[in-house]
Amino acid sequence: MKHVAIIGGGVIGLSAALECARRGHRVSVIERAPTQRGASLGNAGMIVPSHFTPLAAPGMIALGAKWMWNPESPFYIKPRWSWDLLAWAARFWKASTRERVDRAAPLLRDLHLASREAYARLAEEEDFGLVKRGLLMLCKTARALEQEAQMAAHARALGVPARVLDAKEAAALDPNVTMDIAGAVYFEQDCHCDPARYVATLEQRLRAAGAELIYDAEVTGWHRDEARLAAVHTTRGEIAADEFLLAGGAWSPALVAELGLRLPMQAGKGYSVTVPQPVEQPQLCSIFTEARVAATPIGNTLRFGGTMEIAGMDKRINPRRVAGILRAIPEYFPRFRPEHFEGLQPWCGLRPCSPDGLPYLGRTRAAPNLVVATGHAMMGLSLAPVTGQLVGQIIDHETPRIDLKLLDVDRFA
Ligand SMILES: Cc1cc2nc3c(=O)[nH]c(=O)nc-3n(C[C@H](O)[C@H](O)[C@H](O)COP(=O)(O)OP(=O)(O)OC[C@H]3O[C@@H](n4cnc5c(N)ncnc54)[C@H](O)[C@@H]3O)c2cc1C
């Protein structure tokens, strides 16, 4: 039995903590913002085997350049003089090739499918709002539908079921909501859940397993004993452990800089708005393809989320981007009108984005007893349970059940 100290109480840190506790380790989770929890509470709650394409993909740079001047656009890189941003953008550009995306796709598929299985197993014992009805990629234009149909063919080639539907077939699949679309692609294996309830479920299980949840403590530095890490300095004193897991989301790189570990990362800010009593409540979660907006029924509420704003560690709400999300809704769901969103408080979260769109997962040369699990970008909820399982295997020096070469923590060192 080891003592594992986990930095970060988001979905990644908590999922890993539960797996370590299940394996008989003593676990301490250190979290500084117990009510906010990074990007983990207000996200769109989608569990997505359909998302086997990393963010760094062909066409993304061109899309970013096209949307650069539109204050309501869903993807935006704020121009600023930052060496880290320039280096990140150069790596993103280098990673955005068909060959790299093709190499990453089977790995992402396997990770999402393993996570989906773990979510389904957990849902047999706990209710965190898991719905296994699939996801619709809604397309307003024939052109977008054509592109999504190509993606569907790619998915099928990878063994992920995907069906191209016309507008009538999509409406038959989710008769609860009126849609104004040309068609859709249906990914039947995708699911959704209530991310806040998933986090609460993990915490409840961790408490029952005797794990220590040290909330209101911020990790400020490290205490080294030669090559190994002996303890972390926190605002509530030093915490010693045998193994340390870095799961600090977008804040992770700053935390390990003093250890000489370079973890290129940018925060990808996204927003969500949750409608308490929607005029129509879909049964399935969906993505508005052209607008890049996600719509997820969560209990009796309906959450809309979107935007990827690379603008530094800035958690301020930009009303223009939120307006962009809200403006898209009636275009796809015409029964919704602007007044339905009046007075709603937007939420925002910073996604931890590596330059190649793949997580960092594994041990590092920076310290033999440090494991890193971060950089999940827009897939962190979906990949949380499998990340937790893999962290457990890494902590116990087992060979991970999935080849993690592409996720090497030191790949940009
Ligand atoms: C609008 C939006 C929609 C999204 N939708 C989805 C979706 O549908 N499906 C999906 O899979 N993903 C989605 N995501 C992405 C997902 O939310 C993230 O990938 C995920 O939350 C990352 O989890 P994490 O635990 O790595 O980081 P976080 O959730 O950011 O958690 C990191 C935690 O570490 C803590 N921390 C940081 N530094 C310190 C320190 N020094 N000391 C102590 N604690 C520290 C922070 O307070 C934070 O609580 C969405 C994101 C956004 C913004």
Please report the pLDDT score of residue 60 as a whole number. 87
pLDDT of residue 332: 98
Domain-embedded: residue 241: yes
With respect to residue 412, please indicate whether it lies within any of the assigned structural domains.
no
* Alpha helices for 209-358 (secondary structure H): 252-256, 319-332
Instruction: Count structural domains, the chain.
Output: 2
Quote the domain boundaries for residue 347. 46-191+266-353
CATH number at residue 293: 3.30.9.10
Residues 162 and 279 grouped into a single domain: yes
Are residue 314 and residue 396 in the same domain, yes or no? Answer: no
CA 171 / ligand 1 centre spacing (Å): 33
- Do 330 and 240 have their domain in common? no
Q: Evaluate whether residue 113 is within a structural domain.
A: yes
Please, what is the end-to-end C-alpha distance for the chain in angstroms?
31
Residue 413 belongs to some domain of the structure: no
Looking at the structure, do residues 18 and 71 belong to the same domain, yes or no?
A: no
pLDDT at 77: 87
H/E stretch holding 86 reads: helix 83-95
Residue at 127 is within a domain = yes
Q: How far apart are CA 263 and CA 219, in angstroms?
A: 17
- The shares of helix, strand and coil residues in the chain, as percent rounded to the nearest 5, are 35, 25, 40
| Cα–ligand 1 centroid distance for 173 (angstroms) | 31
- Identify which of 193, 251, 271 to mutate to test ligand 1's pocket (most ligand atoms within 8 A of the CB): 251
Helix or strand (DSSP H, E) at 295? strand 293-298
The closest-lying atom of ligand 1 relative to the alpha carbon of residue 378 is 15
157 HSE (CA, 13 A, CB side): 9
Task: Measure the CA–CA gap between 81 and 83, rounded to whole angstroms.
Answer: 7
**Ligand 1 centre distance from Cα of residue 364 (Å):** 21
Q: Which residue's alpha carbon is at the smallest distance from atom 26 of ligand 1?
A: 249
- Contact present, 56 and 274 (Cβ < 8 Å): no
pLDDT of residue 195: 98
Q: Which of 152, 133, 134, 148 is nearest to 182 (CA)?
A: 148
In this structure, the answer to whether residues 155 and 61 fall within a common structural domain is yes
CA of 271 to the centre of ligand 1 (A): 13
Output the CA–CA distances (angstroms, integers) from residue 191 to 265, 308, 335, in the order listed.
28, 22, 24
Query: Residues near ligand 1 with C-beta < 6 Å?
Result: 7-13, 30-33, 37-40, 43-46, 218-219, 247-251, 255, 270-272, 294, 305, 349, 351-352, 374, 376-382
Give the CA distances from residue 8 to residues 295, 377, 389, in Å, rounded to whole numbers and listed in that order.
Answer: 27, 15, 17
Looking at the structure, do residues 241 and 284 belong to the same domain, yes or no?
no
Whether residue 294 is found in the same domain as residue 387: no
* Final residue belonging to a domain, choices 338, 353, 368: 353
For residues 315 and 310, what is the distance between their CA atoms, to the nearest angstrom? 11
Q: Closest residue (by CA) to atom 19 of ligand 1?
A: 380
Same domain, 243 and 297: no
pLDDT of the chain along its 413 residues, tens only? 999 999 999 999 999 999 999 999 999 999 999 899 999 999 999 999 999 999 999 988 888 888 888 888 888 888 889 999 999 999 999 999 999 999 999 999 999 999 999 999 999 999 999 999 999 999 999 999 999 999 999 999 999 999 999 999 999 999 999 999 999 999 999 999 999 999 999 999 999 999 999 999 999 999 999 999 999 999 999 999 999 999 999 999 999 999 999 999 999 999 999 999 999 999 999 999 999 999 999 999 999 999 999 999 999 999 999 999 999 999 999 999 999 999 999 999 999 999 999 999 999 999 999 999 999 999 999 999 999 999 999 999 999 999 999 999 999 98
Instruction: Tell me the CA–centroid distance for residue 217 and ligand 1, in Å.
Output: 17
One domain for residues 377 and 297: no
Residue bearing the CA closest to ligand 1, atom 3: 43
Same domain, 210 and 320: no
Q: Specify if 307 maps to a domain.
A: yes
CA distance 389 to 20: 8
- Asked if 222 and 254 sit in the same domain, the reply is yes
Tell me the C-alpha to C-alpha distance, in Å, between residue 294 and each of 284, 286, 374: 11, 6, 22
Same domain, residue pair 308 and 402? no
Q: What is the pTM of this model?
A: 0.98
pLDDT score recorded for residue 74? 86
Question: What's the pLDDT score for residue 66?
Answer: 84
Burial 300-331 (b: 16+ CB within 10 A, else e): eebbbbbbbbbbbeeeeebeebbebbbebbeb
Q: How far is the CA of 33 from the centre of ligand 1 (A)?
A: 12
How close is the Cα of 206 to the center of ligand 1, in Å? Answer: 19
Greatest C-alpha distance within the chain = 66
Which of 348, 381, 387, 391 to mutate for ligand 1's pocket (most ligand atoms within 8 Å of CB)?
A: 381
Which pLDDT tens digit goes with each residue over 8-28? Answer: 999 999 999 999 999 999 999
The letter for the amino acid at 97 is: T
Domain membership flag for residue 239 = yes
Q: Which run of H or of E encompasses 287?
A: strand 285-288
Say which CATH number the domain at 14 has: 3.50.50.60
Residue with CA nearest ligand 1 atom 41? 219
Would 20 be classed as within a structural domain?
Answer: yes
